[in-house]
Structure 1
């Protein structure tokens, strides 16, 4: 505010010189109060001596300018090598994940005993937007989502503090593990790479080969080497299985000897070292320890009880073995079993350099210790290849754009030196942009490079205008030095105006919140910095070059006659009030009509497919891992191998697969990136067919991944309520309704709906239990020992700490379980069937909760040629009503996930669009000192919007392109670009009127003088961006829609602005028509520059 008052005081002191009116001061004050960052620019405009001094100082000290230029280039180049390289900016919603496990526990027990208490403890964490929980057999994950910009260090402290207040968990449950980052893998961090360790020879075991036998080599060799790589934040051994000390007893032999399970458990629990404190003996102090823990080889000699006065030892009824926990899943690579490793990177890591270092570590490991151990490690997918190809494409498009822009410059100027001088602003501006990216801790990615490619044509505008004006003054007889100084300062005001409008448009983008803000900020930063740098270059480098290195070979404008003919044609088209009104109404009306009728449907993120696809197999519940391997994976492997070996086409480069519970799937990489869709069809129709009772889902991979949202193409139908039966009924209705409404869509329930996970549910017989002298807990512990194993305590062997698990020898039927004996204090030996009723039933294999309520989701992926908005409209009108009809009042259904994110993003984009318009209007009102002129300039925006829409429509004739968030931002960018031509015409008209020309003659002069720079700057911009629109390749889909909107908008705007603006400017009568009235006329931007 102090700057505002200082500015107002300055304005009052120079009132006579600048003739500022009261309403202008009010408008200026409002602009500066809302956006203080414009204060400095406005000071420069009101004190144009600064501009004069900048150009004059440059002309007097060319050596200093050259030195500064060299420093900028050097530091810019250094920034290029220092900046991290990624595919896209980090698109992440801040999250904290809490993991806890309870071995062998069913999802419902984990929900009630572990998850619900933990949720209650953390649900009120400050800043938490959503609490999303997934519960599997044996574990559960709680994911807390926070608003972007949240202080995550404080959030982590808040979560840890709240967890400390949660009630204690069961003795054998895992303490909650808290990690920063999203996803239900609990890894946290930002995923950088996945690796697979495979045996060199799996032998006859094939897929059944147990990779756990190599756990020691992976722990001692691979994990330490990968953790040493710079930029790695965490190495997760996803296939790791816990080591355990398993005591396997014979329940029948134990019962025959009268040994109860509790006796065995207590004996094992007593086997542990204890510290007895300190003892002072004479002059010494001793630590007293009781080493009660048995060595592994001595444990069988532990006495567990007596039978007929004969001691019974553990070895009489049990065996002891150090082993791994039961195998619940597996992973593989190209038909071989594999050990899965996930690497997370730190947020500012250079992804490409990190992957290069990982590849180097892989070579070292494979050539050395892994080869000796009979192992091999490789990247599941080397993302650096895609990143390099995508960045190479953008770089080539940038270079091609520079070349095309230079060709356009030469065609207009026909002088090599002049062309090179103007083109020199391109590398200068780009180096300044790279320097800014480094200063603001950004990265080199497809978005930031696309911003630089867009800037290629834009940064030439100021240089072209300055060069044109200097050349005109030279032709009027000014010598080189005076022409350079006057030529630059004459147009400085108009250039500042156009630069200010372009930069002001980006302010709302830079301050966007949410994922869209993360995605767009690099684009806004590079464009705005490059445009500002181009202005400074135009006011310094161009005048110096024209004074000290004039291009004497430059020819006169070869198109001079054309500009006169064009001017006469335009003035003839607009020489009457009826024609003017007709053009205004026709152009603006048709523009609005085209915009609202041809605008494509909206999408969330661009589609950027990779050269591979996911497949997911949902099998009947209850199948164990051995059955899944034999009946499913081996069959799929046999069908994939001919495509992998090249016997069949299309070929497969690599394929990964996984198996966990009753879910299986994987990823297939096509040998030919152009045949991915063909390979998907073959996989769907020939490979993944005739699989017993198996549902098959295929999804194309995407280079753009959104936190917990995949590639941004999914819509979640979220059904919440207390009763699982109601939720399942609603989800089944949703599935059938989706299939009917969008036949080509993929709909997958999460979790699965069959609720048919086989269960043996034991109901206690309290009367028999009491008569036997037992408690429910005693019977429960016995049943645990008979099934998954009873946790006893922990055992430390000097290197590893492992659980001691008491487990009965295996049984093969429910009847065998019922016949297992239990030794009781008061009733001798009782069987399980006598103490509990065994019921065969079913239960859930997975549960999901959102904000404390049970939830079932139906994840809908629309077909590739359908936008997210279209799919959302269909789901809202044809699916949601049917679901609501079958749900009770206690349940509800909403569309969430990416649909919700898209709606929020569009709402913020709309607000920012209006805000950008408002900023533009106020800023131009201040710069023009006229609200009327500002409104005239804004009239070109419907033309630009219509041009962008028409370009998208034409693009959709050849390939599908929806209105995704990146494409939407193109319309906001257009606001700041297309007004530049209108500013030149309005400004030149006011200059001519100020000299006494009648309105019509003033407009004619403006068109004649500004037509050449308008078309020159537009053509250089268009040809600079055209490669981004037309050249296909890896990652081109990310920015293609954005480039198309800008190219189409600028082309249509440039084509019709020279008709619309003269029509608007000629409305009404010129206020001053005689030279003697010049002193009464408000000075324009350029007139101010001349003073």
Structure 2
């Protein structure tokens, strides 16, 4: 089999050359389209269902919330373990699944079961939480320049947030800090008691007077009309003029028994930059977006966004994940280039001839570019682990070519023609070269099947080493002869 492959490569030199050029071209395209990340995609097979139950003791939360949730989600496929933590006003149920489970589908199944679950009316809707390092923000910005925290928060939400979320690759911009505005209604208990009105009645009137709900549809013989009930508050005065007592009695306005005003929500977090209070903007990328590309788009937008802000306000970049990625990738890439250069210099020192050194050196770029094609097809990102795999294998890429070229050279010196020497020499050592490469592949490739964090972390490294070694074997028995 090896003889026939080598014979074809020697007789069809133009075909082999064109295939090699095609691999180089496709490798360049694949390299340009590879996702650039710091680490491989790591997914933990766990979900947490969190439910809030205000003003309740832990025992009550456990009986009314935690146990029903456990019963509802405890029959999911692939579930390995389930445990819960119940504390005052909160229930947390954590589900552990098999490594490699499809967490997106499992998240949907959990939500479907929770939708069919009946919990006390006072509980909030259960929230399904999933820890994924890829879901961390790629950038954190700080908006500063004003002592009015309400104004700072309003500018961040209305101007900066809306501008950033229109950019390609940006999934969301989350605002933290500042003072979030709300309308507060402070009831006068004495006036309410004298009029025979309870706070619950006021709360019910406010809830039913500010609605935007679908109202069904009206159909005729020719058309169908969708009906919505719209009755939302437009101003503070409209809320103050709201009648809160039952019909048939003298009207009582909300302003008669309460103070209605703009105010700020109770603050749960404060962000500061260099001791100055600020508003933080966390930027999240879309799931399949390139972290570095999204960060570049945001950086370009940050050039002109400050021009639209009120005077004195400015945006500061607190954290940029792309900087760490660039630095790490550049360091590994430099190590790769230095390793390749040193390998060529060692070849030149021992072979003492430029021509065979150049022939063997072609193995390195062709093998690496072929690896980029396979990485792109198998959705392996360009990260420090995959580049580390290339760096690890770069010295081994020339081993097969050295052995093949030496065998060809020996045959030619013995009197064989170049074509015959190439065929006979490569055939002679082809089996040994293939066995050598495959034994090395047999060491690295099984890492792909390791489960857990280790498997996810080293999978890309194992694949790149395997791809590059197999590509170098093909180059050694086709391009080199």
TM-score, normalised by the number of residues in structure 2: 0.86
User: Secondary structure of 2:394's partner?
Assistant: helix
Look up the match of 1:20. none
Aligned partners of 1:189 and 1:234 also within 8 Å: no
Look up the match of 1:450. 388
- 1:569-584 to structure 2, matched below 5 A, reads none
Q: Tell me, in whole angstroms, the C-alpha distance in 2 between the residues paired with 1:69 and 1:447.
A: 27
Aligned partners of 2:39 and 2:384 also within 8 Å: yes
Higher relative contact order (CA 8 A, sep 6+): 2
User: Secondary structure of 1:329's partner?
Assistant: coil
Aligned partners of 2:41 and 2:134 also within 8 Å: no
Look up the match of 1:320. 260
Aligned counterpart for 2:144 among listed residues 179, 199, 216: 199
Look up the match of 1:337. 277
Look up the match of 1:148. 99
Aligned counterpart for 1:190 among listed residues 122, 127, 135: 135
Q: Tell me, in whole angstroms, the C-alpha distance in 2 between the residues paired with 1:495 and 1:381.
A: 49
Aligned partners of 2:139 and 2:295 also within 8 Å: no
Look up the match of 2:425. 487
Look up the match of 2:41. 90
User: Secondary structure of 2:310's partner?
Assistant: helix
Q: CA 1:147–1:360 in structure 2 vs 1: closer, same or farther (change >3 Å)?
A: farther
Q: Return the offset for 1:311.
A: 6.5
Look up the match of 1:964. none
Deviation track 1:899-936 (CA, whole Å, cap 9, x = no partner) reads xxxxxxxxxxxxxxxxxxxxxxxxxxxxxxxxxxxxxx
Q: CA 1:291–1:358 in structure 2 vs 1: closer, same or farther (change >3 Å)?
A: closer
Q: Return the offset for 1:75.
A: 0.8
Aligned counterpart for 2:401 among listed residues 460, 463, 473: 463
Look up the match of 2:373. 435
1:174 paired with 2:124, answer yes
Q: CA 1:475–1:326 in structure 2 vs 1: closer, same or farther (change >3 Å)?
A: same
1:390 paired with 2:328, answer yes
1:520 paired with 2:465, answer no
Aligned partners of 1:189 and 1:233 also within 8 Å: no
1:71 paired with 2:22, answer yes
Aligned partners of 2:23 and 2:369 also within 8 Å: yes
Look up the match of 1:125. 76
User: Secondary structure of 1:236's partner?
Assistant: strand
Moved more, 494-503 or 106-115: 106-115
- 1:563-602 to structure 2, matched below 5 A, reads none
Q: CA 1:304–1:451 in structure 2 vs 1: closer, same or farther (change >3 Å)?
A: closer
Q: Tell me, in whole angstroms, the C-alpha distance in 1 between the residues paired with 2:251 and 2:381.
A: 72
Q: How many residues are treated as equivalent by the alignment?
A: 476
Aligned partners of 1:300 and 1:320 also within 8 Å: yes
Q: Tell me, in whole angstroms, the C-alpha distance in 1 between the residues paired with 2:14 and 2:351.
A: 27
- 1:503-518 to structure 2, matched below 5 A, reads 503-518=441-456
Look up the match of 1:472. 410
Q: Return the offset for 1:122.
A: 2.2
Aligned counterpart for 1:417 among listed residues 355, 368, 378: 355
Q: Return the offset for 1:275.
A: 8.8
Q: Tell me, in whole angstroms, the C-alpha distance in 2 between the residues paired with 1:91 and 1:400.
A: 30
Q: Return the offset for 1:292.
A: 10
Q: CA 1:449–1:264 in structure 2 vs 1: closer, same or farther (change >3 Å)?
A: closer
Q: Tell me, in whole angstroms, the C-alpha distance in 2 between the residues paired with 1:158 and 1:177.
A: 13
Q: Return the offset for 1:108.
A: 7.2
Q: Tell me, in whole angstroms, the C-alpha distance in 1 between the residues paired with 2:179 and 2:78.
A: 35
Q: CA 1:336–1:121 in structure 2 vs 1: closer, same or farther (change >3 Å)?
A: farther
Q: Return the offset for 1:443.
A: 0.8
Aligned partners of 1:362 and 1:378 also within 8 Å: no
Unpaired segments of 5 or more residues in structure 2? Answer: none
User: Secondary structure of 1:72's partner?
Assistant: helix
Q: CA 1:144–1:58 in structure 2 vs 1: closer, same or farther (change >3 Å)?
A: same
Look up the match of 2:155. 217
Q: Return the offset for 1:448.
A: 0.8
Deviation track 1:1019-1059 (CA, whole Å, cap 9, x = no partner) reads xxxxxxxxxxxxxxxxxxxxxxxxxxxxxxxxxxxxxxxxx
Aligned partners of 1:86 and 1:387 also within 8 Å: yes
Aligned counterpart for 2:10 among listed residues 45, 56, 59: 59
TM-score, normalised by the number of residues in structure 1: 0.40
User: Secondary structure of 2:480's partner?
Assistant: helix
Q: Return the offset for 1:343.
A: 3.0
Aligned counterpart for 2:300 among listed residues 343, 346, 360: 360
- 1:599-618 to structure 2, matched below 5 A, reads none
Deviation track 1:962-1007 (CA, whole Å, cap 9, x = no partner) reads xxxxxxxxxxxxxxxxxxxxxxxxxxxxxxxxxxxxxxxxxxxxxx
Aligned partners of 1:197 and 1:375 also within 8 Å: no
Q: Tell me, in whole angstroms, the C-alpha distance in 2 between the residues paired with 1:448 and 1:411.
A: 30
Unpaired segments of 5 or more residues in structure 1? Answer: 1-49, 203-208, 544-1091
Larger radius of gyration: 1
